A and B are shown apart, each in its own frame.
Chain A
């Protein structure tokens, strides 16, 4: 089983460029999440979705947008990348709040 798949795995952007990170899950999960992981700060929630067509802001949503047009996909967009967005991004999904989440392998993004 693929589980949660993130693409790309690595990316280098120049300041001001845009990009989209894709998260795909094949477990028919309703809930999906985007986190960023920075040294000493753990995982911080950027945005999340509780079902197809829904999105909500997490702790650090500024500078990011998301879309959940299909249940299996959760897209994270950076419209104008900044060096402060250099981080490792993790996607997670779960069936409902009473179950554990499954994580993707992460995307290492560097903004220069």
Chain B
């Protein structure tokens, strides 16, 4: 089955540590890729997106992600996390050959310790 997977269910880091959250998808063909963040008690907000061009995309709040087509991956990174980055992070894929649905991964909960 086509799917989106995220490597870690829960990540715990200290402030200033570097972050990398993995995302893999199993759709072939052209894909649009997204990372969303959900702060406690809030709705999802877009962090960054990739449609085409430079595979390294920069988003808000110092986040970036790299699209590696050969690995079907779109990993999220941040060089130095802050306590305020504590949230749940979702990778999402729109696979243009598989209709117009918009599929999310299961999410990774990030806890940053002060």
Residue ranges of A at the interface with B (Cβ–Cβ < 8 Å): 31, 33, 35, 40-45, 48, 50, 56, 58-59, 90, 92, 94, 97-98, 100-101, 103-106
Given A45-B102, A48-B101, 19 other A-B residues pairs in contact with their CB atoms under 8 A: A31-B100, A35-B104, A42-B104, A42-B107, A43-B44, A43-B90, A45-B103, A45-B104, A48-B100, A56-B101, A92-B44, A98-B51, A100-B46, A101-B34, A103-B36, A103-B44, A104-B43, A105-B42, A106-B43
Number of B residues near A (Cβ < 8 Å) is 24
- Give B24-55 interface residues, CB cut-off 8 Å to A: 32, 34, 36, 42-46, 49, 51
> How many A-B pairs fall under 8 Å by CB?
58
Cα distance A32–B105 when bound, in Å?
Answer: 19
Cα distance A92–B43 when bound, in Å?
Answer: 10
